Structure 1
Amino acid sequence: MNAFEQNPGEEFRNSILTSIPMGLLAKPADQADAVMWLCSDQARTVTGDSAGRRGYPADKQTSRPGAAGAAPHKSSRTSQRSTYMTAHNLDFGGRVAIVTGAGQGMGRAHAKMLASRGARVVVNDLNADNATSAVAEITAGGGTAVADTNNVVTGAETIVQSAIDAWGQLDVVVNNAGINAFGTFWEMDRDTWWRVFDVTVKGVVEVSRAAMPHLIASGTGRLINISSNGLMGVPLDSAYSAGKAAVWGLSIGLAAEAREVGVQVTTLMPVAWTPMTRDAFQNPVVQEAMKENVPPEAVSAFVTYLAHQDTTTYADTFEIAGVAAGRVAIAGMERVDAVAATPEAWVEQAEALTKDGEMRVFHNASESFRDQMVHLAPELDSVLPKDAANVERV
């Protein structure tokens, strides 16, 4: 799929359409097929094995925390099955996960699938009935879970403590909680706007901050933050768009920091049929297509894959819809030069500034900064490191 679509509507449409040719129906009953594809050679061709390009020498990849072949994570749950990742076995061996906003929709599906693969799950949701019913459903299926009803903004430390009190460890966090409200930016109630933004951003910040010491101690810590292709801007949805953009920026920077302490951070932009998207798309044709092709369980298959202790796919952003996933990065058009640093010089370049052209891909701020500087001063090409904007080098 084209990861650089500028129109969210076109992006959504592509997400739906590209899930169909895979040959795997994106229905709850087909999750085994989805997981097998995500673990296959074909999937690795799409996602890439990022271990060797994330700062770890090839001879160290099997010894760093969380890599395939690393020392097994110590857990109170014993299992006779192998802990290595294969298409037929994705066992979490009793590792502990927190899923926020897990009372319904995608969060509930994430919690259920993690539990079905042997994780012990804290089901967080402000709605107590939804949280307890999700836990009941998990336990009825032979899984292990506890409910937590704390607010992600004001009660993040208590949410994390729920995992520690119940099982003494924390290995996985899925920051899924979010709300939405629509309205014209300048007419929308100020408190409503900030509530959407705060739950989206502060919830991720506070839960992640509280969880990080435990994820580091885990040795196989996984932090999965849910953003959205809405970060590209959706009319009448400015608070949500701004919040999801903030989550993306936070996650990219945090991924570089966290990998140094053995924690893998990944960002997702999911499309799924949930109560939130049901309210957003009133067209019955779109609704039927979403019900058929992008159930929340399909996103959960990818979340569960990324959360596993042996996965080496991380530190990237992925769109995921049905059984189709694709890496996402910022892309820039060809740079346009003015003859001088004056307003008048830019008048002459007005048409060139808005002309489409060849794309350049930037995965982080370092790549963008380097591209700008080398364009202006080509002699820097052999001088500037690829991580030129990495503050760790200062």
Structure 2
Amino acid sequence: MNLRGKTAVVTGAAQGIGLAIATELAAQGAAVTIADRSADGAERAAAALTAAGHTAAAAAADITSATDADAMVAAAEERYGPLDILVNNAGISINGALRKLTDEDWNRTIAVNLTGVMNCSRAAARGMIGRRSGRIVNIASRAWLGWFGQSAYAASKGGVVSFTRSTAIELARYGITVNAIAPGLIDTPLIRNETPEVMERLLAAQPTGVIGKPEDVAWAVSYFAGPAGGSTTGQLLYVCGGKSLYTRPS
């Protein structure tokens, strides 16, 4: 899993799963650009990695903007050299039953979770195609299989799965792999904001009965991003404690 000499960009990496991914890639030797809509958050995360002896920098980017996505990749390459690894982690979750779903919530979810993945992948692929080498890893979600009140979120993440498969076919001839990871219940700041009652229900439905760690997702990313994953493309790996198989009955 040696990534020395590699250049990586991780979106939505100021905290949570994204920060765990950036930390793991940096620990393996990659020069990592931490991209996030929060400039302050990205700066703090990059400073923490740098203080730990890793190579990291921050980039403020709104991935719903193609211009921002292009600038993000350009900044990473100007600082560290040609981009080898892109991890599309940034995303939002707006829950709500269909009858209560607003146009604004639907459009925002699709813009961030799906259009954002396209914007960043397109920006990264331009250089990767010329070099005939690259790794793109998209963070989808177990929720793409469907869940109550998550029609917008599930649709956006289902789109990420389909986008992954299609771009993997398209880019394979250029030596670029494209894979996806579908996390389930992971211990993040978003989850910690849930009430004890909600957490009890979530854990009750979890086959393993435990919540996953952000590092679990990061380790999966490192496989796809590194030399060991060179012959793997177009695949979806669940990191969900078995919830993609079934949910425990109450």
**Residues 99 and 176, structure 1, Cα contact 8 Å, conserved in 2:** yes
Aligned residue number for residue 238 of structure 2:
319
Aligned residue number for residue 201 of structure 1:
114
**Residues 94 and 109, structure 2, Cα contact 8 Å, conserved in 1:** yes
Structure 1 residue corresponding to 2:199, chosen from 260, 270, 283: 283
Aligned residue number for residue 248 of structure 2:
none
**Residues 131 and 148, structure 1, Cα contact 8 Å, conserved in 2:** yes
**Residues 47 and 57, structure 2, Cα contact 8 Å, conserved in 1:** no
Aligned residue number for residue 303 of structure 1:
221
**Residues 181 and 196, structure 1, Cα contact 8 Å, conserved in 2:** yes
Aligned residue number for residue 27 of structure 2:
116
Structure 1 residue runs without a partner (length 5+):
1-89, 329-394
Q: What amino acid maps onto 1:266 in structure 2?
A: N
Matched, 1:171 2:90: no
**Residues 165 and 235, structure 2, Cα contact 8 Å, conserved in 1:** yes
- The TM-score normalised by the length of structure 2 is 0.86
**Residues 278 and 287, structure 1, Cα contact 8 Å, conserved in 2:** no
**1:218 Cα deviation (Å)?**
4.2
Render the CA deviation track for 1:205-256: whole Å, top value 9, x for unaligned.
1100111022224443000111112112222121111101111111111111
Aligned residue number for residue 53 of structure 2:
142
Larger radius of gyration: 1
- The TM-score normalised by the length of structure 1 is 0.56
Aligned residue number for residue 155 of structure 2:
242
**1:285 Cα deviation (Å)?**
7.5
Cα distance, 1:207–1:259 mapped onto 2, change above 3 Å: same
Matched, 1:294 2:208: no
Q: What amino acid maps onto 1:307 in structure 2?
A: A
Q: What amino acid maps onto 2:188 in structure 1?
A: T
Partners in 2 of 1:197 and 1:241 — Cα distance? 10
Aligned residue number for residue 273 of structure 1:
187
Give the match's secondary structure for 2:98. coil
**Residues 251 and 267, structure 1, Cα contact 8 Å, conserved in 2:** yes
Deviates more, 1:240-249 or 1:265-274: 265-274
**Residues 142 and 240, structure 2, Cα contact 8 Å, conserved in 1:** no
Partners in 2 of 1:122 and 1:243 — Cα distance? 25
Give me the CA root mean square deviation: 2.5
Partners in 1 of 2:182 and 2:124 — Cα distance? 22
Cα distance, 1:151–1:292 mapped onto 2, change above 3 Å: same
Render the CA deviation track for 1:252-304: whole Å, top value 9, x for unaligned.
11111111110011111112211233456722475698996511011101101
How many residues align? The count is 237
Q: Give me the identity figure in percent.
A: 33
Structure 2 residue corresponding to 1:160, chosen from 48, 62, 73: 73
Q: What amino acid maps onto 1:101 in structure 2?
A: G
Structure 2 residue corresponding to 1:253, chosen from 145, 166, 169: 166
Partners in 2 of 1:316 and 1:125 — Cα distance? 26
Q: What amino acid maps onto 2:107 in structure 1?
A: W
**1:171 Cα deviation (Å)?**
0.3
Partners in 1 of 2:69 and 2:194 — Cα distance? 29
Structure 2 residue runs without a partner (length 5+):
246-250
Give the match's secondary structure for 1:258. helix
**1:159 Cα deviation (Å)?**
1.1
**1:150 Cα deviation (Å)?**
1.0
Render the CA deviation track for 1:345-373: whole Å, top value 9, x for unaligned.
xxxxxxxxxxxxxxxxxxxxxxxxxxxxx
Instruction: Summarize the alignment of residues 1-394 of structure 1 with structure 2, pairs less than 5 Å apart.
Output: 90-154=1-65, 155-271=68-184, 272-279=186-193, 282-284=198-200, 286=202, 293-311=211-229, 312-321=231-240
Give the match's secondary structure for 1:186. helix
**1:179 Cα deviation (Å)?**
0.5
Q: What amino acid maps onto 2:237 in structure 1?
A: F
